[in-house]
């Protein structure tokens, strides 16, 4: 099966940065004179999608850039969907999760901390497949070789992902899902 086009959240950081415009912005809030006088905050704009990531809480522009890049990747994972391919609609047993996912899933469980650098890429992969599956969580979980409860727990680790799924379920007259 041909590999899906890379979701922007799954790109290597250097490749993603080439598609972005970085702006130094003035930090607001506490932090002393240094923070209030210089432009240590960072706003990254992903030019193809218009999605932004921003960080101002650190006194170092480099530290803010790292955080803004993570937030941009997370926002892209939540808001941008790769167009589904024909093979994405096949039998879940035929779906091949990415090597990144396979390296994180063991014994039917996914192990990744929400703050880990891999999280946005994994979330984007799951949300792309979930969209192709018409929000059928059980089918998506089967494609990733984890239980439905594990997939729900993974989505619940980013409340905006689970919230968006539940909004779509409510619109169809279905009950919202809750992680245990």
CATH number, domain of 68, equals 3.30.160.20
Domain co-membership, 56 together with 121: no
Q: Tell whether the model's pLDDT for residue 40 goes beyond 90.
A: no
Same domain, 22 and 75: yes
Q: Is residue 66 one of the residues assigned to a domain?
A: yes
Q: How far apart are the first and last CA of the chain?
A: 35
Domain membership flag for residue 62: yes
pLDDT at 147 over 50: yes
Whether 3 is covered by a domain: the verdict is no
Among 45, 79, 113, residue at a domain's last position: 79
Residues 70 and 93 grouped into a single domain: no
- Report how far residue 35's alpha carbon sits from residue 26's, in angstroms, rounded to the nearest whole number: 8
pLDDT: is 6 or 41 the higher one?
Answer: 41
Q: Write the burial class of residue 133 (CB in 10 Å: 0-12 exposed, 13-18 middle, 19+ buried).
A: buried
**94 and 60, same structural domain?**
no
Q: Across the chain, what does the average pLDDT equal?
A: 88
Domain boundary pick from 19, 44, 79 = 79
Q: What's this model's pTM, rounded to 2 decimal places?
A: 0.87
Are 74 and 132 in the same domain?
no
How many structural domains is the chain composed of? Answer: 2
Residue 71 has pLDDT above 70, yes or no: yes
- 55 lies in some domain: yes
> Is residue 158 in a domain?
yes
The stretch 120-136 carries a mean pLDDT of: 94
User: 96 and 167: one domain?
Assistant: yes
* β-sheet with 52-55: strand ranges across: 20-25, 41-46, 52-55
Q: How many helices (H) and strands (E) does the chain have?
A: 8, 5
- Which of the listed residues 55, 79, 103 is the one where a domain comes to its end? 79
Residues 65 and 102 in one domain: no
Per-residue model confidence (pLDDT) at position 58: 86
pLDDT confidence of residue 19: 95
In a domain, 75, yes or no: yes
Q: Give yes or no: residues 139 and 101 share one domain.
A: yes
Average pLDDT estimate for 39-65: 92
Indicate the pLDDT class of residue 91, thresholds 50, 70 and 90.
confident
Domain that holds residue 132: 89-171
Residue 111 lies in a domain: yes
* Amino acid 1: pLDDT: 45
pLDDT at 60 over 50: yes
In a domain, 179, yes or no: no
């Amino acid at each position: 099966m041909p590999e899906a086009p890379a979701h922007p959240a799954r790109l290597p950081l250097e490749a993603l940065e080439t598609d972005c415009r970085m702006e130094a912005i003035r930090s607001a809030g506490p932090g002393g004179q240094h923070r209030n006088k210089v432009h240590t905050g960072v706003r990254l704009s992903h030019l193809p999608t218009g999605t932004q990531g921003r960080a101002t809480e650190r006194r170092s522009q480099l530290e803010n850039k790292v955080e803004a890049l993570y937030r941009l990747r997370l926002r892209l994972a939540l808001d941008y969907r790769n167009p589904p391919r024909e093979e994405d609609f096949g039998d879940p047993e035929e779906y091949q999760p990415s090597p990144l996912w396979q390296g994180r899933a063991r014994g039917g469980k996914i192990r990744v901390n929400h703050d880990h650098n891999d999280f946005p890429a994994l979330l984007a992969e799951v949300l792309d497949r979930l969209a192709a599956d018409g929000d059928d969580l059980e089918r998506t979980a089967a494609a990733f070789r984890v239980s439905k409860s594990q997939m729900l727990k993974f989505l619940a680790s980013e409340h905006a992902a689970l919230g968006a799924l539940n909004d779509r379920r409510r619109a169809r007259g279905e009950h919202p899902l809750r992680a245990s």
